[in-house]
Chain A
């Protein structure tokens, strides 16, 4: 299994600002993902964080709003830009150790509240 930490665990931000969330894994992993969980809803995949190249975004999510970095096999950041109250959610990173057919492990999440 993989141990995943996220920083910050929670934050309250003002409208129009940005928040960068860090995800650190205790071992090298092939796949890293970012998910959003809006209040009372399930998880939605934002993007796949690719090491050394641009992230792959799901429909409805764009790089300008959710820039992602992945400089190595154990670390990734997600920035939520130009915040609005609709961005208030829990953001979770997850990792897969061998790509397909393997259990994915999730970080504890970052709870973002936008005022």
Chain B
């Protein structure tokens, strides 16, 4: 059974700092790894998807990497802004398009 863990559970940084969120998974037989953002009281917004054959994906200030052999993914956020404050979730996709989510990292970027 796939298990996904995210570290740290919470992170508070000053505006402008670069930061890294970590995600680890137990079953390397994933099809892809997705990063989502969840704002309080709202649904999930997809940020990046990394296919199992890929090593990384980039979108603007976000860069996500995937290392299947070690069961790890990272989300790098450059030049953080207060608007980046949210909970970040990673999820591994297994057979049948089913997603297993981590517990999330609650990020606060202070002005």
Residues of A participating in the B interface, judged by any CB pair closer than 8 Å = 4, 31, 33, 41-45, 48, 56, 58, 92, 94, 96, 99-109, 111
Contacts and interface: CB of A to CB of B under 8 A. Distances in A.
Interface residues on chain B, size class: 20 to 34
Instruction: State the main secondary structure of chain A at its contact with B.
Output: strand
Interface of B: 31-32, 34, 36, 41-46, 49, 51, 89, 91, 93, 95-104
Contact of A31 (B49, B89, B97): B97
A92 B97 contact: no
Contacts of B99: 33, 43, 45, 94, 104
B90 to A, nearest CB: 10
A83 to B, nearest CB: 21
Given A101-B31, A103-B49, A45 B98 contact: yes
B40 to A, nearest CB: 11
Nearest to A30: B97
Nearest to A43: B101
Nearest to B89: A42
Nearest to A40: B103
A94 B46 CA distance: 11
A66 to B, nearest CB: 16
Contacts of A104: 34, 46, 93, 97, 99
B97 A100 contact: yes
